Structure 1
Amino acid sequence: MKLVSFRASGADRLGIVFPENKVADAQQWGAANGMDVPDSMLGLIDKGLEFRDSMSAKVKATAVDDNADYVYDYEAVKILAPMPKPARNIWGIGLNYTEHVAESARSLDTDNKLPQECIIFSKPTNTVIATGEAIKHNGNQTQQMDWEGELAVILGKGGFRVKAEDAMDLVYGYSIINDISARDNRRQGQWIVSKGMDTYAPMGPVLITPDEIEDPHNLQIITKVNGVEKQNGNTKNMLFRIPEIIQDISSVMSVDPADIIATGTPAGVGAGRDPQEWMWPGDEVEIIIEGIGSLKNPIVDDTY
C-alpha cells in the first residue's frame, strides 16, 4: 500500500495511491469500504499495525472507482511530505556505509575506522518539506550545502530496549529522505546546525508499507544533481541494518510510533568528490529509491 499526504480543494488529506496515478481520499475511501480511516498519516499510524495490515489487504482487493468524487488524478493534487509535521525529531544515522566512512575521513576529518556502534544524531521537525518544495540556501550560513540520499524507516510501534530480532515488527513503512548537510557549519563536531536548518530534510513522496518491499536491505539508492548521477548505492551495504539501528537507539532512548529514522547515505556525497561539489541556488536534487519513487527538490536563495 502506498500512502500520501496531499492537499486538494484547500484541505490536507490522507491518500491511497492506486494504479493509473489515482489518489483516493483515504477517509472517504474507508467510509465506502467499511473502515474507519483517519484523515492524517499520524492518525493512521496511531490506529496500529493490525489496522494497517487490514487496510492494505482491502486496498489490494478493491478497484478504485474513478468516478467517485474522492478520487483525484495524482498530478492534479499537491503532494505533501508523508508527515508534514512529524511527531518528534528525526533520528539520523551517520557513517553507515563503508565507502562513505572512507570519503568522510578524507574530506571531513572524521575517523577512518568503521563505527562499532551507530552514530546517532537528530534533525528537528522544521527540516521536513515535500517533494517539489524548495530547499533554502542561506549563503551566510553555508557555502557547502551537500546532498545525502537515504532510506527512511517509519515506526508504527514504540518500545524500549527492543531486541534486534523483534525490531522489524515495529516498522510501519518506508520513504525517501534527503539528509541535507551544511558541511561548513559542523560546530565543534556538533551536527545539529549543519543538519537542522529549515528545509534540510525533504521527504517523500510516499510512505510505502512493508508488504510492498521484498527486502529493505536490497534497494538501490540513486542521487542526481541537475540530472547528473552523484550517488549509486544499495541498502545491502549498510554497516548497521534496520534491526540493529532500532535496537541501538532503543537501548538508550525509547522509540515511539511515527518516529522517523534516516538510515544513512552511501558514498558519493559532494564533500567526498574530487574536487568537492556543492549545491547552489538554481540547482535541483533528486533521490530515487527503487520501489518507492522519486524525491525531487529545487535549491533557492535564502540569504539574508
Structure 2
Amino acid sequence: MKLLRFGSKGTERPGLLDADGRIRDLSGHAPDFAGENVSLAALDLLREIDTDALPIVENPGRIGCCLATVPNFYCIGLNYTLHAQESGMPPPSEPILFSKATSCLSGPFDPVVLPRGSEKSDWEVELGVVIGATAYEVSEDDALDYVAGYCTVNDVSERSFQLDRQGQWIKGKSAPGFGPVGPYLVTADEVPDPQNLRVSLDLNGVTVQNSNTSDMIFGVRQIISYLSRFMELRPGDIIATGTPSGVGMGMKPQRFLKPGDVMEVEVEGLGRQLLETVAAR
C-alpha cells in the first residue's frame, strides 16, 4: 500500500494511492496515520478493505507529511561511505545516532523556510524507515519484521547551527519545515530489499546526489537492531538512515541553500518531493 495524507495543514485526511494512481479517502477507516495507527496490526486491517469501494478524491489539494506525528524522529549520521569521505571523516565503527525535533515534520511539497540567522542550510536525501511494532533488543535477523514501511526523507540541516555551536546536532536539524517526509508511506511488503534503492536529489534541475542504499555502511537491519539495544522503538517512530555524498557542505567550494532554490528529492519507489526554499518572514 501507498498511504498518504491530503488537505490543508492541520486538517489532513488519510488516504491511499490505488493501482490506477488515484487517491482514495480512508478517513472512514483510519483516524490518521500516526503511532498505533501505523502498527503492523493496523496496516493488516487496512489491507482487508475493498479499495474499489473507497471514495475517489478528485481534488486532494495539498499533500501533507505521510505521518501526522511521530513519537521519535531518529537519524543516522555518516552512514554512506562516500559521504563520510566527502566530510573528511573516517567511516564510523558503529551507527552515529542523533534526533530531529518532531516539530520539524512537513509535507513533501511544502516550502522549506530558512531560519533567521541561517548561513549554511543544506540538503540530505534519505531513506526513511517507519517502525510498526515495539522493538527492544531485537536481532538483525528479525529486525525487518518490525518495519511498517518506508518513505522519502529530506534531512534538511543548518550546518552552522549543527557544527559551529556548542551542544548536540539537534539544533541544526530541527527548524520548522526541516523534516519533509513523504509523499507516501509505502508498506514494507512493497519494498523487498531496502538495500537496493536509488536515492537522488536535484538542486535547480541539476543532480547533486545520486547513489544507492547499497552504499550504506550500516543497513536497515543493523540500524534497527543497534538502536533497539539502547531504547524501545515504538510504532510510528521514524528513522532517517543517512545521506549519500553530494551535500552542499561537501562541495568545493561549499554551496548552501538560498531563497528560490528548488530541491527534487526521491527514493526509488517511495515518491518524489518538490521543495522550494524561502526566506523567513
TM-score (norm 2): 0.93
CA distance in 1, matches of 2:278, 2:56: 33
**CA RMSD of superposed structures (Å):** 1.9
Instruction: Report the secondary structure of 1:154's partner residue.
Output: strand
1:163 equivalent among 132, 139, 145? 139
8 Å CA contact 1:136–1:300 kept in 2: the answer is yes
**Residue deviations 1:104-138 (CA, integer Å, cap 9, x gap):** 11xxxxxx221111100000111110011111112
On the 8 A contact 2:76/2:95 being kept in 1, the answer is yes
Aligned partner of 1:180 among 135, 144, 156: 156
Which one has a bigger Cα radius of gyration? 1
SS at match of 1:64: helix
Q: How does 1:1-304 map to 2 (within 5 A)?
A: 1-7=1-7, 11-28=11-28, 37-42=29-34, 45-46=36-37, 48-53=39-44, 55-56=46-47, 58=48, 62=50, 64=52, 70-73=55-58, 76-86=60-70, 88-105=71-88, 112-140=89-117, 142-186=118-162, 187-188=165-166, 190-302=168-280
- Inter-partner Cα distance in structure 2 for 1:155 and 1:171: 5
Q: CA deviation at 1:189?
A: 5.8
CA distance in 2, matches of 1:89, 1:223: 25
- Cα deviation for residue 272 of structure 1 reads 0.6
Q: 1:49 to 1:138 in 2, by over 3 A?
A: closer
Q: Which SS does the other structure have where 1:294 is aligned?
A: strand
Structure 1 unmatched runs, 5+ = 29-36, 106-111
Q: Tell me, in whole angstroms, the C-alpha distance in 1 between the residues paired with 2:45 and 2:32.
A: 17
Residue type of the alignment partner of 1:12: E
Shift of the alpha carbon at 1:47? 6.7
AA aligned to 1:129 is S
1:166 Cα shift? 1.2
Aligned counterparts of 1:254 and 1:76: Cα–Cα separation in 2 = 36
Give 5+ residue unaligned stretches, structure 2.
none
For this pair of structures, how many residues does the alignment match? 278
Residue 50 of structure 1: how far off its partner (Å): 3.9
Q: Whole-Å Cα distance in 1 between the matches of residues 52 and 206 of structure 2? A: 37
Task: Give the CA deviation at 1:274.
Answer: 1.3
Query: What is the identity percentage for the equivalent residue pairs of Structure 1 and Structure 2?
Result: 36
Instruction: State the distance in 2 between where 1:63 and 1:180 align.
Output: 35
Q: Secondary structure at the match of 1:184?
A: helix
**Structure 1 counterpart of 2:110, one-letter code:** E
Q: Secondary structure at the match of 1:168?
A: helix
- CA distance change for structure 1 residues 47 and 153 in 2, over 3 Å: closer, same or farther? closer
